[in-house]
């Protein structure tokens, strides 16, 4: 009988974001079946997601550096110690590092354990803009010599993130975090009735550019186009976006619906899905919107370029200027047949490409 391989998954925390929810998806769909598995988190993040992951793995397999909802320096230091201690006692064959802080800490620790396979799991094509981006770029490239294998959530992410790695022989794998639901109902009505119902979803952070979308809604209102916007998701920018909607005079037209598992089941009753993020990895929410047949307008970044075709399964924005966005939304809302065609083609494409049995078969071939 073959001995189980021992695997550690080291991640920043279990905040409600694509990479973190992706871990739940990997566990639900059997990527780690047959392996002795541990999860080490630098901070707790969302209590609900933490509980869900605990149910999937078993509480005894989760090692938590901090109960905080956000990443802290203390959590990083404690997490470094816990990773070091777990490597010594658990003796893993491989360690998967998810998100940039966990990647940097994990690689530095693993220089002391050259026989342990180091897998960097990449989730975004470009680092989020900010004052520390140059430092992170330098540290990630400098420590990349310790990485033996690179996983990415889509082909675009895999290609784009090669710039953060020094050249050396290493394995590469595309490991999708998204599987199309077999039982999800499709949108069945594309006729407008009353104000146009627009929806978006994602973690409420600056790079999602909800601010530009709110300005576009204001422009549509000024043009006499009745519009309501529903925003699914939570995040540190929620209050700022709420304040902006009030300042723009559209507060009553904007609903902040919070985080909802399977948000798309309700959202399919809307008329249009808009996504305006500056950077993405795979971008699960766009794939979910397409899966239920919502017509999608999106900034084609990250994996959105992999699974959508402009004019056939989605409309790609050529500019993020709110005037242009309002123009595109207006044209979509004016043509029911185009929305119907976009939605049906999107649902067919997503359900074919990310069919559950197809992705689970890919998981069985992933090398640890």
Cβ(273)–Cβ(267) below 8 Å: yes
Cβ(53)–Cβ(24) below 8 Å: yes
CATH fold of 6-177: Rossmann fold (3.40.50)
Q: Name the residue ranges covered by the structural domains of the chain.
A: 6-177, 196-353
Average pLDDT, the chain: 93
Query: Region 241-255: what's the mean pLDDT?
Result: 97
Query: Region 102-114: what's the mean pLDDT?
Result: 97
Q: pTM for this one?
A: 0.90
Q: Is the pLDDT of residue 2 over 60?
A: no
**What are the tokens at 145?**
């010599």
Closest alpha carbon to 258 in 16, 12, 14: 16
Q: Is the pLDDT of residue 255 over 60?
A: yes
Can you tell me the distance from the alpha carbon of 79 to that of 63, in angstroms, rounded to the nearest whole number? 9
Query: Region 4-30: what's the mean pLDDT?
Result: 91
**What are the tokens at 131?**
């004052």
Q: Would you state the pLDDT for residue 1?
A: 46
Can you tell me the distance from the alpha carbon of 138 to that of 153, in angstroms, rounded to the nearest whole number? 22
Cβ(109)–Cβ(83) below 8 Å: yes
Tokens 């110690």 found at: 81
Q: Is the pLDDT of residue 182 over 90?
A: no
In the chain, % of residues over pLDDT 90: 85
- Interval 189-236: pLDDT, tens: 999 988 999 999 999 999 999 999 999 999 999 999 999 999 999 999
Q: Is the pLDDT of residue 75 over 60?
A: yes
Beta bridge partners of 196: 227
Q: Would you state the pLDDT for residue 58?
A: 92
CATH: 3.10.20.30, 3.40.50.2000, 3.40.50.150, 3.40.50.300. Which one for 196-353? 3.40.50.2000
- Interval 124-159: pLDDT, tens: 877 766 677 888 889 999 999 999 999 999 999 999
Query: Region 284-295: what's the mean pLDDT?
Result: 96
Q: How far is CA 256 from CA 61, 122, 195, 199, in A?
A: 35, 29, 17, 10
In the chain, % of residues over pLDDT 70: 98
Query: Region 257-268: what's the mean pLDDT?
Result: 91
pLDDT band at 17 (very low <50, low <70, confident <90, very high): confident
Q: Are both 6-177 and 196-353 of the same fold? A: yes
């Amino acid at each position: 009988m073959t001995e189980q391989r021992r695997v550690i998954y080291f991640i920043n925390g279990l905040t409600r974001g694509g990479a973190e929810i992706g871990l739940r998806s990997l566990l639900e769909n059997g990527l780690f079946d047959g392996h002795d598995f541990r999860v080490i988190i630098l901070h707790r993040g969302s209590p609900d997601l933490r509980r869900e992951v605990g149910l999937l793995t078993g509480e005894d397999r989760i090692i938590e550096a901090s109960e905080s909802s956000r990443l802290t320096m203390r959590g990083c230091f404690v997490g470094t110690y816990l990773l070091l201690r777990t490597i010594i006692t658990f003796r893993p064959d491989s360690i998967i590092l998810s998100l940039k802080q966990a990647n940097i800490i994990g690689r530095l620790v693993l220089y002391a354990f050259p026989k342990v396979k180091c897998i960097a799991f990449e989730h975004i094509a470009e680092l989020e803009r900010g004052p520390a981006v140059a430092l992170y770029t330098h540290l990630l490239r400098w420590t990349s010599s310790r990485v033996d294998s690179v996983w990415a959530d889509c082909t675009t992410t895999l290609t784009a993130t090669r710039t953060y790695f020094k050249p050396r022989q290493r394995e590469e794998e595309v490991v999708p975090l998204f599987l199309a639901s077999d039982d999800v109902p499709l949108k069945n009505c594309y006729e407008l009735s009353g104000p146009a119902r627009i929806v978006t979803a994602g973690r409420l952070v600056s790079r999602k550019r909800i601010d530009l979308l709110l300005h576009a809604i204001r422009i549509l209102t000024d043009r006499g186009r009745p519009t309501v916007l529903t925003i699914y998701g939570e995040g540190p920018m929620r209050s700022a976006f709420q304040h902006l909607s009030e300042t723009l005079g559209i507060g009553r037209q904007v609903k902040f619906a919070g985080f909802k598992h399977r948000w798309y089941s309700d959202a399919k009753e809307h008329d249009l899905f808009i996504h305006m993020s500056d950077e993405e990895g795979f971008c699960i929410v766009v794939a979910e919107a397409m899966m239920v047949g919502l017509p999608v307008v999106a900034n084609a970044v990250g994996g959105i370029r992999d699974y959508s075709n402009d004019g056939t399964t989605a409309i790609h924005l050529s500019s993020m200027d709110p005037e242009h966005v309002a123009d595109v939304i207006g044209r979509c809302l004016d043509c029911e047949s185009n929305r119907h065609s976009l939605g049906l083609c999107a649902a067919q494409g997503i359900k074919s490409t990310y069919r559950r049995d197809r992705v689970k078969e890919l998981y069985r071939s992933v090398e640890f």
